[in-house]
Amino acid sequence: MKKDEPVPFLDVATPHRVLKAELMAVVDEALSTGRFVGGPNLEKFESAFAQFCTTKHCVGVANGTDALRFAYIAAGIQPKDIVITVAHTFIATTEAISQVGASIVFVDINEATYTLDPQKLEQFLKTECTKKSDETTIHTKSGQRVKAVVPVHLYGQTADMDPILELAQQYNLLVIEDACQSHGAAYYSKNQKCWKTAGSMGIAAAFSFYPGKNLGACGEAGAVTTNDAAIAEKIRMIREHGQKKKYIHDMEGYNGRLDAIQAGFLAIKLKHLAQWNTQRHEHAVYYNQLLKDIKEVVTTPHLEWRKGVYHLYIIVLSDTKTRDALQQHLNNNGIGTGLHYPIPLHLQTAYSYMGHTAGSFPVSEKIASQCLSLPMFPELTQEQQQRVVAVIKDFFKR
Ligand SMILES: *Cc1c(COP(=O)(O)O)cnc(C)c1O
């Protein structure tokens, strides 16, 4: 690699170039059989992905947002229920809450994990909610039932699930995981004394196979994983207009199926996912090593209880001005960067009706305004990483 060759933020092209013959065979087969919806490719992928996530069931759907929405509906979230989640996530997590008619409540993230802070969840449940003596569910002071909590396994790292699951049990809440960025991430459960895979810890979990995700389709796709047979069956109905049998509708649903061609692509790419995740992990370790002497750069803390799959590799800078200037400097030097995500949800115009202000969720605000995502994809080379870090060092005049 030449000294000042650009480093892309993401390389979606290379894996498809490598797998092209195999992927084209899926297209050929679909064109000659005319099987574009359902069929063996879908079933094959669903059972392989369930196995990968160590769950009993996987139901393919049209995208990650549908996966969230269908999981919420199938889990029994009703209009006016409250669903608790974080403000430091992609808006799909909360869009789907509103789309089922429920209300969003934000809880702040933890500074070391960038995910839902169990202590702040407990604080909300203890101080803002009451349990009527004759009921098992809790309500907010406004009288709304608190039904579910949605931890988001952001950046390819799991939330701290043991205390979240304990609180959920204590307060009778459902846990639905947003695992859209965490295909294959692992969490060590002290309670169960074993490693658990993202997507296997709640009542259901949503995955996205948007092209840039660790497992990406060549278009839109998603899935719900669950160990609950009734939820899996319900999602199979919801994705297909509420029908179990053709034209027999037990309920209204959606058109939210996963295309047969995409399922065929995903089944091929899934065989490489563990290897790709290992490569991402190695890159993260190498970045950490290269960056450790730059005191202005904070890397994601290593925590014994989780193994990340680094959907994104983020660093945190001292303030927004430094972050923005460093991003500009990297971009000027041909290095791709991203911001995930620059404005926390509670400060978005879409949620201005909630009345939150700057200061409502300080950790979410801090990470949003100081984080910077560096190039991260399996094919990234050590030379490319060295170049990224050399440009960062140059910025800080090291
Ligand atoms: C990508 C993503 C989604 C939505 O997935 P789509 O397939 O784009 O609908 C939801 N939540 C998170 C955290 C995501 O990163």
pLDDT tens, position by position, 223-241: 999 999 999 999 999 999 9
142 C-alpha to ligand 1 centroid (Å): 30
Q: Report the amino acid identity of residue 61.
A: V
Read out DSSP for 242-310? TEEETTEESS---B-BPBHHHHHHHHHHHHHHHHHHHHHHHHHHHHHHHHTT-TT-EEPPP-TTEE---
pLDDT at site 5: 87
**Ligand 1 atom at minimal distance to the Cα of residue 213:** 1
pLDDT at site 130: 87
243 C-alpha to ligand 1 centroid (Å): 26
pLDDT at site 145: 94
45 C-alpha to ligand 1 centroid (Å): 19
Provide the 8-state DSSP code for 346.
Answer: G
* DSSP-derived 3-state class of residue 50: helix
151 C-alpha to ligand 1 centroid (Å): 13
CB neighbours (10 Å) of residue 350? 11
CA angle (152, 112, 65) in 5-degree steps: 15
> Which segments in the chain show pLDDT lower than 70?
1-3, 133-134
Please state, in angstroms and rounded to a whole number, the distance separating the CA atoms of residues 335 and 350.
Answer: 32
182 C-alpha to ligand 1 centroid (Å): 11
Provide the 8-state DSSP code for 37.
Answer: B
Task: Give ligand 1 pocket residues (Cβ under 6 A).
Answer: 63-65, 89-90, 92-93, 152, 178, 180-181, 208, 210, 222
pLDDT at site 2: 57
Question: To test ligand 1's pocket by mutation, which of 10, 61, 88, 181 has the most ligand atoms within 8 angstroms of CB?
Answer: 181
311 C-alpha to ligand 1 centroid (Å): 12
Question: To test ligand 1's pocket by mutation, which of 94, 209, 210, 262 has the most ligand atoms within 8 angstroms of CB?
Answer: 210
Residue whose Cα lies nearest atom 4 of ligand 1: it is 64
Structure tokens at 158: 């799991």
Please state, in angstroms and rounded to a whole number, the distance separating the CA atoms of residues 39 and 357.
Answer: 49
Q: Strand ranges (DSSP E) for 36-163? A: 57-61, 82-86, 103-107, 129-131, 138-140, 145-150
Determine whether 233 is exposed, middle or buried from the number of CB atoms within 10 Å of its CB (0-12, 13-18, 19+): middle
Q: Strand ranges (DSSP E) for 291-369? A: 298-299, 306-307, 313-316
User: Taken in order 20, 25, 31, 34, is the CA torsion positive or negative?
Assistant: negative
pLDDT at site 135: 74
Residue whose Cα lies nearest atom 6 of ligand 1: it is 64
Structure tokens at 391: 């440009």
33 C-alpha to ligand 1 centroid (Å): 32
Residue whose Cα lies nearest atom 5 of ligand 1: it is 64
Angle between helices 260-291 and 382-395 (to 10 degrees): 50
383 C-alpha to ligand 1 centroid (Å): 31
Please state, in angstroms and rounded to a whole number, the distance separating the CA atoms of residues 387 and 177.
Answer: 36
**Ligand 1 atom at minimal distance to the Cα of residue 152:** 13
pLDDT at site 43: 97
Please state, in angstroms and rounded to a whole number, the distance separating the CA atoms of residues 191 and 7.
Answer: 43
* DSSP-derived 3-state class of residue 208: strand
**Ligand 1 atom at minimal distance to the Cα of residue 181:** 15
Determine whether 5 is exposed, middle or buried from the number of CB atoms within 10 Å of its CB (0-12, 13-18, 19+): exposed
Determine whether 321 is exposed, middle or buried from the number of CB atoms within 10 Å of its CB (0-12, 13-18, 19+): exposed
Contacts of range 383-389, beta carbons closer than 8 Å, 24 or more positions apart: 383/1, 384/1, 384/7, 385/283, 385/286, 385/287, 385/290, 386/290, 387/1, 387/3, 387/4, 387/5, 387/7, 387/335, 388/7, 388/287, 388/330, 388/335, 389/287, 389/290, 389/291, 389/294
Provide the 8-state DSSP code for 108.
Answer: P
